[in-house]
C-alpha cells in the first residue's frame, strides 16, 4: 500500500548507501523505506543500520537518518538470523519441559547457544524433540515483535513467569526502559534486532549439550547449555555439518593418540606435552628445517634459560601488564625467580652484553625458546592451548633507516616457511595504533608505514585492523587457512618501541652518540605446539613425505621373503630414508591396512617375484599401486620428495 505522504507537517531526510536521499513522513518504518527503494530487498534484508545502530525492519524513523540494509548473507545478518533461532529454541524448550528457567542465548561464531536452568538434565534424545518442536514454531511464521516497557513493569512481567535470571539482568540495566521481544506467546528480554518472523528460519541443527556456570563464574549455579547452528539454506547447513564431521576425524588429539605422536598426562600436569618418538621425529625435522633456513637468512641462533629473576619481568613490563598469565615466583637463595613467559628480555640481555655500533646492525637473534604461561584448565585444549610451549621466536635490532627492508625480509621469509609446509591460503591483517600506547606518534607513523610498504611491495592483499596493535607498536598478523577453511592465528611481525626504551637499549651512531634501535618481534609459526596442531589436522595425519616419521615400510608376502625384506630395509636406512619392516606371519592385506592406518606414505611389497627380479612394488597410503621398480629407482624417487618445497 502507498506510504509516502508529503503533505504531513514533519518530513525527514533518509540518505541511502549510494549517497542519494529522499524525504519521508516521520514515523515511516524502515521496511517501508526499503520497499520504496527496491521491493526485492525485502527478500534478503533482515534488519537495517540506522545512524550506526542496528534495528528491526519495523523500526519507525523519526529523524534525519542514514540507512544501510543488512542482508542475511552479511556477518551482521547471519548473527541476527542465528540469534533469532536461539529465541525459537528457547520457546521450544519452555513449552516442552516444565520448570525450566531461561538465561541468555547469544549468537556465536558458527552458531548460537542458550543457557537453561532445568531441574532435569537434557539428553541427545531431547535435542531431537526440541528440533521437531522448533519446526512447528517456524511453520507458524509468527512475527518477532519488539516492545519497550519500564524496568518496573519488566521486573513484574518476568517475576510473574518465575524468570529470576532475567530479573537479575534487568536490575543491572542503567536505562529506565528495557526492550522485550515476543513471538507466538514467548517473551524474552533482548536488545534485538531480530528477523521479521520465525518463518525466515530455513535450516538449523542443534549440535550439543554442555554445562556452563551462570555468567561464567564458578561460584554460581551450573546451567545447561544447548548449542546449535543455523544457515539461510539447507545446502550451507549441510556443508557446515560435513566440515564439522570432517573436523572430528581430523581432531589432533585423536590423531595424536592413534599415530602415537604425543600425550598429555594428568600425572605430569594439564597443558604440558610429552612428545613420543614419532612425534619427536616430526618436531625435530621441523626444527632442523627452521634452523637451516634461519642461518641462510643471516640469523644467529641463541639459547636462553627457562627461569629468570622477577626484576627482569618488572623492567620489561610483563609483570605489570600480564601478571595474570605469569606463574608465582620461587625463592632461590632469597631472590624471587619465575619461569619465563617470553624470550624478549633475554635477547636484549645478549644484545647488551657488549657495545654495539651502527655498523653491527641489523642484529637478528632467533631461538626455539620454551616459555610457560598460566592458562586456566577450562581453556586448555590439546596442543592448541597449553601451559608450556616452544616459540619460534626472533628479535631484530635495527636502525630506523633499516626498518622497511627488515620488515619486507621477514614477511618474505614468513611466507616461504608457510608455503614450505603446504600453506598458501591465508588472511593478512595490519593492526594499527590503539588508544593506549607508548612511544611517539612520529615513530608509530614510521612503523605503520613500514609495515604497509612491505605488504604493498610484495603485492599481498591485506586488511586494516584499526586500533588492534599492541601497546608497544603496530603489527602484521597472518592467519592461515586449513583444508576445511578454518583460519588460525599463526605468524606475527611486531614493531616495538617499548622494550628498547625500558632497557635503555642503544647503539653508537655515525655521530659517535648513543641512539635507540627499533626492535622487531617476529614468529613465523607461532609456537611449535600450535603449529603442529593445525598442521596435523590440515593433513589429517598424512604428513608430507619429508616430514613423515616413517616414510616407507617393507611388507613381506610370506616368511620366505624375510631375508630380502631385511636387505631392502637396510638399504633404505643407509640412504637416510626413515623405514620400518614388517615380517610378521600375517596376511598381506592385513599388513597393508595397518600401514595405511599409520599414514605411512609408501608400502614396499616384496614377494617371490620381487625377490627374483630384485625390485620392490610400491603402494601409496591412498591405495594406489605404482609400477615395480628397482630399489635404487625408489630411493631416488623418495629422495626427490624428501625436500621441502614451497607451495603456491
- Known catalytic residues? 344, 373, 391, 393, 395, 475, 521
Identify each DSSP E strand in 444-496 by its residue range. 463-465, 475-481, 487-496
Q: DSSP 3-state assignment of 642?
A: coil
Q: How far apart are CA 456 and CA 449, in angstroms?
A: 10
Contacts (Cβ under 8 Å, ≥6 apart) of 135: none
Burial (CB < 10 A; 0-12, 13-18, 19+), residue 165, is buried
User: Is 219 in a helix, a strand, or coil?
Assistant: coil
Q: Is the peptide bond before 470 cis (omega within 30 degrees of 0)?
A: no
Residues 420 and 645: beta-carbon distance below 8 Å: yes
- Specify the pairing of strand 552-556 against strand 579-582: parallel
Specify burial of residue 340 (Cβ count, 10 A radius: 0-12, 13-18, 19+): buried
The sign one gets for the Cα dihedral 293, 297, 303, 306 is negative
- Number of residues that make up the chain: 648
**Which of 132, 187, 130, 184 lies closest to 161 in space, CA to CA?**
187
One-character DSSP codes across 302-369: ----SEEEHHHHHHHTHHHHSGGGSPPPEEETTEEEEE-S-SHHHHHHHHTTS--BGGG--EEEEEEE
Sign of the Cα torsion 536, 539, 542, 546 reads negative
Assign residue 464 a region: left if phi > 0, alpha if psi is -120 to 50, beta otherwise?
A: beta
Amino acid at each position: 500500500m502507498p506510504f509516502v505522504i508529503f503533505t504531513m507537517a514533519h518530513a525527514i531526510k533518509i540518505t541511502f548507501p549510494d549517497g542519494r536521499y529522499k524525504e519521508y513522513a516521520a514515523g515511516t518504518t524502515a521496511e517501508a523505506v526499503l520497499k520504496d527503494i527496491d521491493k526485492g530487498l525485502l527478500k534478503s534484508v533482515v534488519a537495517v543500520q540506522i545512524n550506526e545502530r542496528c534495528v528491526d525492519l519495523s523500526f519507525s524513523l523519526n529523524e534525519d537518518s542514514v540507512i544501510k540494509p543488512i542482508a542475511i548473507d552479511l556477518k551482521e545478518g547471519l548473527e541476527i538470523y542465528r540469534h533469532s533461532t536461539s529465541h525459537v529454541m528457547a520457546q521450544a524448550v519452555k513449552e516442552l519441559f516444565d520448570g525450566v528457567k531461561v538465561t541468555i542465548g547469544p549468537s556465536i561464531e558458527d552458531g548460537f547457544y542458550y543457557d537453561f536452568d532445568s531441574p532435569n538434565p537434557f539428553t541427545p534424545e531431547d535435542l531431537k524433540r526440541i528440533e521437531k518442536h522448533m519446526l512447528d514454531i517456524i511453520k507458524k511464521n509468527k512475527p518477532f515483535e519488539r516492545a519497550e516497557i519500564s524496568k518496573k513493569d519488566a521486573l513484574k512481567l518476568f517475576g510473574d513467569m518465575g524468570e529470576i535470571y532475567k530479573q537479575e539482568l534487568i536490575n543491572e540495566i542503567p536505562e529506565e526502559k528495557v526492550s522485550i521481544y515476543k513471538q507466538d506467546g514467548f517473551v524474552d528480554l533482548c536488545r534485538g534486532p531480530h528477523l521479521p518472523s520465525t518463518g525466515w528460519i530455513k535450516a538449523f541443527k542443534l549440535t550439543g549439550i554442555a554445562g556452563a556456570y551462570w555468567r561464567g563464574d564458578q561460584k554460581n549455579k551450573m546451567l545447561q547449555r544447548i548449542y546449535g547452528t543455523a544457515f539461510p539454506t539447507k545446502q550451507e547447513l549441510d556443508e557446515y555439518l560435513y566440515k564439522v564431521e570432517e573436523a572430528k576425524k581430523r581432531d589432533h588429539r585423536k590423531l595424536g593418540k592413534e599415530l602415537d605422536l604425543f600425550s598429555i598426562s594428568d600425572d605430569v600436569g594439564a597443558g604440558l606435552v610429552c612428545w613420543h618418538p614419532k612425534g619427536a621425529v616430526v618436531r625435530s625435522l621441523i626444527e632442523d628445517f627452521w634452523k637451516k633456513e634461519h642461518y641462510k637468512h643471516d640469523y644467529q641462533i641463541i639459547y636462553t634459560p627457562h627461569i629468570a629473576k622477577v626484576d627482569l619481568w618488572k623492567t620489561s613490563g610483563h609483570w605489570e601488564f600480564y601478571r595474570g598469565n605469569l606463574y608465582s615466583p620461587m625463592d632461590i637463595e632469597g631472590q624471587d625467580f619465575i619461569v619465563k613467559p617470553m624470550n624478549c628480555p633475554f635477547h636484549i640481555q645478549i644484545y647488551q652484553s657488549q657495545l654495539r655500533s651502527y655498523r653491527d646492525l641489523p642484529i637478528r637473534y632467533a631461538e626455539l625458546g620454551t616459555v610457560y604461561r598460566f592458562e586456566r584448565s577450562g581453556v586448555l585444549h590439546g596442543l592448541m592451548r597449553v601451559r608450556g610451549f616452544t616459540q619460534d621466536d626472533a628479535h631484530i635490532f635495527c636502525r630506523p633507516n633499516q626498518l622497511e627492508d627488515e620488515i619486507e625480509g621477514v614477511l618474505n621469509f614468513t611466507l616461504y616457511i608457510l608455503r614450505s609446509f603446504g600453506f598458501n591460503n591465508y588472511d593478512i591483517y595490519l593492526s594499527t595504533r590503539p588508544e593506549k600506547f607508548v612511544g611517539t606518534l612520529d615513530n608509530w607513523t614510521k612503523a605503520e608505514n613500514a609495515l604497509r610498504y612491505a605488504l604493498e611491495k610484495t603485492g599481498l592483499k591485506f586488511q586494516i585492523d584499526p586500533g588492534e596493535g599492541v601497546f608497544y607498536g603496530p603489527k602484521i598478523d597472518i592467519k592461515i587457512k586449513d583444508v576445511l577453511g578454518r583460519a588460525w592465528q599463526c605468524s606475527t611481525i611486531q614493531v616495538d618501541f617499548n622494550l628498547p626504551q625500558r632497557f635503555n637499549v642503544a647503539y653508537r651512531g655515525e655521530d659517535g652518540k648513543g641512539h635507540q634501535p627499533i626492535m622487531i618481534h617476529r614468529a613465523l609459526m607461532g609456537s611449535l605446539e600450535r603449529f603442529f596442531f593445525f598442521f596435523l589436522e590440515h593433513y589429517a595425519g598424512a604428513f608430507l613425505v619429508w616430514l613423515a616419521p616413517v616414510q616407507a615400510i617393507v611388507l613381506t608376502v610370506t616368511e620366505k621373503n624375510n631375508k630380502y625384506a631385511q636387505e631392502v630395509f637396510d638399504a633404505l636406512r643407509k640412504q637416510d630414508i626413515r623405514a620400518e619392516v614388517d615380517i610378521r606371519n600375517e596376511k598381506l592385506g592385513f599388513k597393508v591396512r595397518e600401514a595405511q592406518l599409520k599414514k605411512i606414505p609408501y608400502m614396499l611389497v616384496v614377494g617371490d617375484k620381487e625377490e627374483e627380479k630384485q625390485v620392490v612394488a610400491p603402494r601409496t597410503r591412498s591405495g594406489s599401486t605404482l609400477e615395480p621398480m628397482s630399489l635404487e629407482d625408489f630411493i631416488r624417487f623418495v629422495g626427490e620428495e624428501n625436500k621441502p618445497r614451497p607451495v603456491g
